[in-house]
Structures are given as C-alpha cells and as structure tokens.
Structure 1
Amino acid sequence: MERREFFKVAAAAGLGTAAQTPGMAETTVAGPAPFIERANPGQPHKGKVFALITPHLDDGPIFAGGTIAKLLNEGYTGYFIRVSNDEKDSYNLTMGETVLVNEQDAARFVEVAGLRKRYDLEYRNHGLDDVSRMEIRVRLIFLFRLLKVDTVLSYDPWGHYEENPDHYVTAQAVEAACWTAADHLDFPEQFDVGLKAHSVREKYYFARGPQLVNRVVDIGPTIKQKATYIASCRNMITNMVKSTNESLAARGLRIAAFSGPQEAANEEYIQAAFLERDKRIGAKYGLEYAEEFHYIGPSHELDDYIRAHAQRI
C-alpha cells in the first residue's frame, strides 16, 4: 500500500495517523517567518554540551532526532535525561517487564546516537503531575551545573493543548531549571561539592500541538540517523505497530506492511508515521526534511555596549 493511502485508510478508520502514535498536529501559532538552521561544515560547536530532557525514551528521537544528530555531527557532547521510567509503554508486557525492556532500549539509543551518558530520574510514567515540580527542578539544576549544559532540547512549556501530564510537567521543570541554575542563591549547598552557577544559553523546544515556531532545522542530511534513533526504541515502536494493527482489525482493515516480520513492520511504520511527517514539514520551507522548534537563544542586549566599553583586565 502506498504511504499516502495508509493515511487515508487510517483516517477512515478513525485512527488519526495511527493508534498509540504521539500526537503530531503540525500546526503553528502565527508569528514571523522562522529562521532556517542548516548544517554547518566541520565541528563549530566542539566543546559545547547539550542535554536532551524528555519524560519518555521515544520523545527525543521522534520530534528532534534529526537535530540531535546535527548537533552531534557539529561537535556537541550530548547527554540524555529521561524523567519517567516508561512503565506504561509496551504491548502485553507486565509493568516490570516494560520498565526493563525500555531501559534496555534507552541504553541502545544512547549507544546508537553516540551520547556520552544517560541519567534516569525514574518517576512513575503518567504520574508526573503528582510529583513536586521543585523536586524535578532541583535535580535538573544539579545536572545542568555538573555537566555544564549549554543547550537543552525538550518539550515546549508553552505548547498548546498538551494532554500528557508527563510532557508539560517536564517542560515546565526544564524551563525553570535553565535560568535558576545560573543564580548563586539557588541551592548554594551544591557549590560545596565543586559545582558552580551555570546558565543554559539555548533551548530547542518541540511540541505535539500548536506552538510558536521560530526555528526550523534542515534535517535532510541527518534523516537516516534519525530513523536509526527511532528504531532503537524497539519496544515502543512495536507497541505502536501492534496497537495500530489491533485497531485496524476491529474495523475490518489491514495494512500488509505492518503485518510482516516485526523489524520490517517497525521500519515501515517509522517511515509512514514520522519521516513522512518530517517531509511534509520540510516542504513548507522548501526543504526535503525538517523539524520545527520554539527556539530561545542567548540574550544579545548588551553586545553593542560591551564592544564599545569593555576593557581588558
């Protein structure tokens, strides 16, 4: 079946893009034309550090995998901070088995992507709205200071219509931690173990629903890396495929490409559900593939004054 036909069948079946697929509204809030970020030659960001901070393993690969690969290719050192234990994402596994298999897949993603290390905060999946945001914030501030994080990738704390509490709680904690990590009066006891106040300078925020998009990253050169990152989340993609098949069967429908050997079915699903979406996003900006973000960069308010008045000491 042609991939475009898959979406027609899925829509007719009342599935959206597919059952269990993270929502992907592809809707932007009105604003100025976004900046197009393209691949940079060499490694201009060598020495810089980014942290991917998401509640679930597959969030980063699905929504920012191409950008993650781009930053790594350009010299960044990357870390993955997984906030939940992903205990609710599997197909017919027990909760304990689900935690284990997703932990193993998280290790595979870190290895495949070439990230430096993974930190699991291990909060209960789908229960982050019952956790103190301050507690999560303090843990993130410690890691930002420890790792000297320059850039974060996470969910947009201002994304509209987000239904998953894990997503908006994580996003709010990340945003708050980014600026309080730079304050010398916030948790100064951390300085007694050698840490220093540290400012996170750049933020790439993605969303499942409408958001203010002001930066679009050209991921044409890294789309294959992105597909590999998503495929490393083997258990979660398998859950999406099997759940989709189950929903289709209940409506008397079947997609042959999703019904064969699991690895091949997963690959086809990744192409149909995620890479085709990135192609449609890219087409809006004259690119082959793209990812959209609400980007917040460093302040340049004093740059002119500093250039005019700063002296060597």
Structure 2
Amino acid sequence: MSIFDIVPVPSLDKAKHILCIQPHPDDMDISCGGTLAALADHGAHITYLTVTDGSAGTPVRMQEAELAAIRRQEQIAAGAHIGVRDYRWLDYSDAQWLPEAALQADLIRAIRKTRPDTVFTIDPWLPYESHPAHRTVGLCAAAAVLFAGMPNISPDQLEDGLSPHNVQQIAFAFTAAPNTQFDVSATWARKLSAIRAHQSQFPDNVWPVYEHVLTAKGREFGAQSGCAFAEALKVLAPFHLHCNIDILG
C-alpha cells in the first residue's frame, strides 16, 4: 500500500490557473515550456513569477542592471510564444545566496494573491544540481504550497487583506524522478521559439548544442509515452509534500 493509492497523483489536464515560480528568466521555458503552452491552449491562465533578476547569467562581462533589463524583456518575448498572461518579478540579486525565510514568505504572499490551482517550479532534489538558486527556489516554492493555506503562517499577510489559499497540485520540472509525461508534440516548436528568445543565454554559436540535447530528450520521453515529443514532470498534491516515505514510488 502506497500513499498514492489513497491520494493519487493529480492530473495536469485539470490545471486552469497556474503560477510558475522560476529562479531565473528562461527556467520554465526550457524545462516545461511545451507543457505550459499546451495548457494555455486549453484555457489555462499562466503567471510567471521570476525570483532573481538574472543579472549574473552571461559569458560576457556587462553591467548587472543592463543584463537584468535585457533578461526581463527576453522573458516577456519568450512568454508570448508560451501563452503567459501575467508576470511578477521579485528581483532578488542573481548568483547570491537567497534568504530562505524572506523568500518563502514572498512566495506564500504570491500564492495568496494569485490563488492558483497549480504551481510549477524547479525540482530542488535533482541530484548534483549545483546552482543554489535552483535548490533554494524549489524548496521555498514547495514549502509555500504546503503553508499558503495555513492562517498561522505569515499571519501579517492576512492583516493586509489576503486570505489563506490551498493549492491543488505542484509540478516539479528538471526532475530525476518523474511520474508524469505530458505530450507536447503540438507545442514543441513554440517551446524552442520561446527558448530562442533568450538570446543573452543562447546565442547562435551555442544554440545548436542545446537544441540537440533538448530535442533528444523530448523524443526520448515521447517514445516512452507513445508520442513525438513529451516533457517529464513530478506532479504531487500538497498532501504528498510532508512525511511521505513513498515519494519515489
């Protein structure tokens, strides 16, 4: 008997109001842009919340404020391919240690404001993930999903007029332990177009390598689920996020 026999893995097909919590501009587009585009096509309202300003991610030295501005515009251009309707920016400094308590409170506030049924984020338990922002953002997003419905957590937000909100499901991208493969055959080209909008990260001289890797993985996941292209995610209910010894099942 597994916990998933009692509380099954939720279905992403039911997602109608999605909050995507990403460490940097481009993370959602790369990791699950095809899934998000498909859900947008089926009427889902998608909001991107970007935690850092992206001011460190460049192979060429430039002023941090200049790069942050470029990356914000690139993300808006990319989101047009996906079908993103709203954007939120926390503007934490990139490549610095993120304050977990403050970030968790910010994400709880964002959930209580946007009131999503589904949260997408990065899997912080990916083995060998060396980027601290990916680990911290994923952990804080998962905690925020768990805590946003509890009125005794961040009660000052209730005094500001917000109310507790229970998220129905959380989808972890960049995961090594997927339980869901989503058919993105119809939106694969849009995913690649969205990634290409991030020119500061994927200039012409490096794009062919990334395109080859992404396409190979998309086809691999697609072959496993009987379609041309698929993306793999770990989808959980909030009930699964605490004391779950069956999590890898």
Identify whether the pair has TM-score above 0.5, normalized to the shorter chain.
yes
2:129 corresponding residue in structure 1: 162
Alpha-carbon distance change, 164 to 50 in structure 1, aligned in 2, over 3 angstroms: same
1:165-187 Cα deviation digits (max 9, x unpaired): 01000000000000110001112
| 91-100 vs 118-127, greater mean Cα deviation | 91-100
Asked if 1:187 is matched to 2:154, the reply is yes
Shift of 1:277: 2.2
What is the match of residue 183 of structure 2? 218
2:55 paired with 1:115: no
Q: Is the 8 A contact 2:17 2:44 kept in 1?
A: yes
Deviation at 1:53, TM superposition (A): 1.0
Hey, what does 1:233 align to over in structure 2? 198
Distance 2:211 2:70 in 1: 23
Count of residue correspondences: 234
Partners of 1:110 and 1:118 within 8 A in 2: no
The letter of the residue matching 1:51 is L
Q: Secondary structure at the match of 1:216?
A: strand
What is the aligned partner in structure 2 of residue 29 from structure 1?
none
State the alpha-carbon separation in 2 of the partners of residues 163 and 157 from structure 1: 10
SS across alignment from 2:72: helix
Partner residue in 1 for 2:216:
276
> How far apart are residue 285 of structure 1 and its match?
2.8
By how many angstroms is 1:270 displaced? Answer: 5.2
TM, length-normalised to structure 2: 0.84
Give the CA deviation at 1:231: 1.6
Q: Corresponding residue for 2:74?
A: 105
Does the 8 Å contact 2:32/2:173 carry over to 1? yes
Matches of 1:90 and 1:298, distance apart in 2: 36
Q: Deviations over 1:59-92 (max 9, x none)?
A: 1111101111111112111111111111122242
Indicate which of 40, 44, 49 corresponds to 1:72.
40
Q: Secondary structure at the match of 1:103?
A: helix
Which residue identity is paired with 2:235? Y
Paired amino acid for 2:182: V
1:262 alignment counterpart: none
For structure 1, the residue ranges without an aligned partner over 5 or more in a row are 1-34, 245-265, 301-313
Corresponding position of 1:20: none
**Quick one: which amino acid aligns to residue 224 of structure 1?**
A
In the other structure, the counterpart of 1:84 is 52
Could you tell me which residue of structure 1 aligns to residue 4 of structure 2?
none
Contact 1:231 1:270 in 2 (8 A): no
Pairing 1:146–2:113 present:
yes
Shift of 1:299: 5.4
Deviates more, 1:183-192 or 1:143-152: 183-192
RMSD: 2.7
In structure 2, how many angstroms separate the alpha carbons of the residues matched to 1:288 and 1:70? 14
Amino acid at match of 1:166: A
Name the CA distance, whole Å, in 2 between partners of 1:276 and 1:104: 29
1:94 and 2:94 matched: no
Q: Deviations over 1:122-166 (max 9, x none)?
A: 112221xx2221100100111100000111111113222211101
Look up the SS of the partner of 2:46 in the other structure.
strand
Matched residue of 1:82: which SS?
strand
Q: Secondary structure at the match of 1:237?
A: coil
- Measure how far apart 1:104 and its partner are: 1.4
Q: Which runs of 5+ in 2 are unaligned?
A: 1-8, 241-249
Paired with 1:116 and 1:281, the residues of 2 have a C-alpha distance of 28
CA distance in 2, matches of 1:192, 1:163: 38
Return the alpha-carbon distance in structure 1 between the equivalents of residues 78 and 17 of structure 2.
18
Tell me the CA shift for residue 269 of structure 1: 4.9
Q: Deviations over 1:5-53 (max 9, x none)?
A: xxxxxxxxxxxxxxxxxxxxxxxxxxxxxx8x79x6xxx65xx311111
